[in-house]
């Protein structure tokens, strides 16, 4: 065993976390692969991942522990990310971007499921 602690995450949570990551990637230019990296991120990649965690937290109504598990991180990291993002909402351009991303997530989740033809 490698000593890494991982909590099983429901497939629906993985899909929703991926949605948040991809929307933030589209809005910031930081790739989803960089945000998903299981290494300590610096600079813009770290801030982008924080925004994705915050987006999941506010739009899905998840508790911080669930956000952390869906992103493969610990609760303290998710809490710090959400506190940072909330503080950053004082910046009008970032606040407007998050408002747009929240609307996008809600539009996707409120749409009826579409059956994919075989």
Instruction: Read off the pLDDT of residues 65-106 as tens digits, 9 standing for 90 and up.
Output: 999 999 998 899 999 999 999 999 999 999 999 999 999 999
Cα torsion 19, 100, 45, 63 to 10°: value is: -60
pLDDT at 1 over 90: no
Q: What is the pLDDT of residue 113?
A: 86
CA distances from residue 18 to 23, 41, 87 in whole angstroms, order as listed: 9, 18, 24
Q: What is the pLDDT of residue 8?
A: 80
Q: Kindly report the CA angle at 73 between 84 and 45, in degrees rounded to 5?
A: 55
- 116, part of any domain: no
Tally of domains within the chain: 1
CA distances from residue 90 to 43, 50, 97 in whole angstroms, order as listed: 19, 16, 12
- 61, part of any domain: yes
- 71, part of any domain: yes
- 68, part of any domain: yes
Closest CA to 14 of 3, 6, 4: 6
Q: What is the pLDDT of residue 9?
A: 87
Instruction: Read off the pLDDT of residues 23-54 as tens digits, 9 standing for 90 and up.
Output: 999 999 999 998 887 777 778 998 999 999 99
Q: What is the pLDDT of residue 4?
A: 53
- 4, part of any domain: no
Q: What is the pLDDT of residue 104?
A: 95
Domain with residue 37: its CATH number is 1.10.1750.10
Closest CA to 51 of 6, 94, 114, 15: 94
Question: What is the span of the domain harbouring residue 55?
Answer: 11-105
- 41, part of any domain: yes
pTM over 0.85: yes
Closest CA to 55 of 33, 35, 34: 35
CA distances from residue 13 to 27, 28, 38, 55 in whole angstroms, order as listed: 21, 22, 18, 13
């Amino acid at each position: 065993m490698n000593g890494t602690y991982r909590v099983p995450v429901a497939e629906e949570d993985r899909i929703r976390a991926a949605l948040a990551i991809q929307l933030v990637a589209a809005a910031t230019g930081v790739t989803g692969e960089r945000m998903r990296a299981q290494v300590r991120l610096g600079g813009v990649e770290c801030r982008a991942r924080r925004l994705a965690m915050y987006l999941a937290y506010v739009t899905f109504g998840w508790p911080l522990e669930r956000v952390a598990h869906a992103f493969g991180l610990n609760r303290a990291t998710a809490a710090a990310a959400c506190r940072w993002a909330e503080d950053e909402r004082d910046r009008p351009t970032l606040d407007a971007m998050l408002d747009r991303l929240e609307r996008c997530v809600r539009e996707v989740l409120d749409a009826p499921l579409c059956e994919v033809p075989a």
